[in-house]
Amino acid sequence: MIISVASGKGGTGKTTMATSLALSIDRARLADCDVEAPNSHLFLRPVFEPDDTITMPVPQVDEDECTLCGECAVICQFNAIVTIADTVMTFPELCHGCGGCQAACPAGAIEEGRRTIGTIQHGRCNGLDFVHGRIRIGEAMAPPLIRQIRSRINPDETAVIDAPPGTSCPVIAAIKDTDFVVLVTEPTPFGLNDLKLAVETVKILKIPSGLIINRSDIGDNKVAEYAAMEKIPILMEIPYNRQIAEAYSRGEPVVEAFPEWRERFEKLYADICNLVAGSKS
């Protein structure tokens, strides 16, 4: 089973929930798919294996073979290859790696090169298998790296995915085809607005979901009203607590700083299992 933790709005507590949930499951994996701002490792402090460098295909043109026919530029939707006067230029950072130019080149002048988009690291901590990715600074394309992390998850294991914020392609890559989405929000206008966007995203992907309202007493009641209207189960409510915020700042998982919370996270996992079983029957 794969449980993803997502939010729409950033900073609502995805990493807090994902790490404590994973630590409360017997033999789980945590996969941090927020490759732009990965934080789970700061809480779990895994012992890492050496990095894997992740690359994407990009065109490499043999100028001696190239006839400057321009067919590569015709097929490329991303302006990553153009012919200008008597030369062909490539812009690797714009390339999506579709291989169209290579397939379309009548002279067979294009071969596949590689560009580095980031790294993936595996590690272990407290009986937990850990994996995360880090996008190379300056690289724009997160989804291919996220898909690579997803491919490292064994379909038979229990995994918790820490997803990036937002509602666009990186989130889709992180949560698509997972069994359940835990949506983490806060009871404020920003939290509600972005929760609605996240709920729409989850609906498009047809994944069952539940809600955690973090800092549940800092705002108003509109998130709970919205959840009732949308029939989204509220899995947990956590009032604001300065000690939890301070433990967070030091990188301490909630279930380790406050062992009395372990039972609640174990129950959270049991509730999710029941909801997933219910959605499949």
Partner 1 sequence: MKELVVISGKGGSGKTSMVAALSQLANNPVLCDADVDAADLHLILSPNLKESHEFTAGHTASIDLEKCTRCGKCIELCRFDAISPDFVVDPLECEGCGVCYYFCEEGAVAFPENLSGHWYMSDCRFGPMVHAKLGIAEENSGKLVTVVRKEAAKIAESNGHEMVITDGPPGVGCPVIAAIGGASGVLIVTEPSLSGRHDMERVLELARHFSVPALLCINKYDLNESISEGIRKFAEQHNVPCVGQVPFDPAMTKSMVQAQTLFEYDPNAPACTAVREIWARLREEVV
Q: In the block, which residue shows the tokens 């009548």? A: 106
Q: Which is nearer to partner 1, 125 or 272 (CB)?
A: 125
Q: Using CA atoms, how far apart are residues 54 and 254, in angstroms rounded to an integer?
A: 32
Q: Which is nearer to partner 1, 87 or 168 (CB)?
A: 168
Q: Which is nearer to partner 1, 231 or 242 (CB)?
A: 242
| Structure token digits, residue 96 | 């999506």
Q: In the block, which residue shows the tokens 């959270």? A: 268
| Structure token digits, residue 214 | 């973090």
Q: Which is nearer to partner 1, 109 or 192 (CB)?
A: 192
Question: Which residues, in sequence order, are CB contacts of 179 under 8 Å at separation 6+?
Answer: 1, 2, 3, 207, 208, 276
CB of 231 to partner 1, least distance (A): 19
Which residues sit at the interface with partner 1, rule CB under 8 A?
8-12, 15, 34-37, 39, 42, 75, 77-78, 96-100, 103-104, 135, 137-142, 164-172, 176, 188-190, 193-194, 197, 200-201, 204-205, 218-220, 242, 245-246, 248-251
- Judged by DSSP in three states, 68 sits in coil
Dihedral sign from CA coordinates of 180, 7, 16, 38: positive
CB of 274 to partner 1, least distance (A): 28
CB of 111 to partner 1, least distance (A): 16
CB of 277 to partner 1, least distance (A): 26
| Structure token digits, residue 157 | 């294991």
Helical pair 262-280 and 14-23, crossing angle rounded to 10 deg: 90
CB of 243 to partner 1, least distance (A): 11
Q: Which is nearer to partner 1, 10 or 127 (CB)?
A: 10
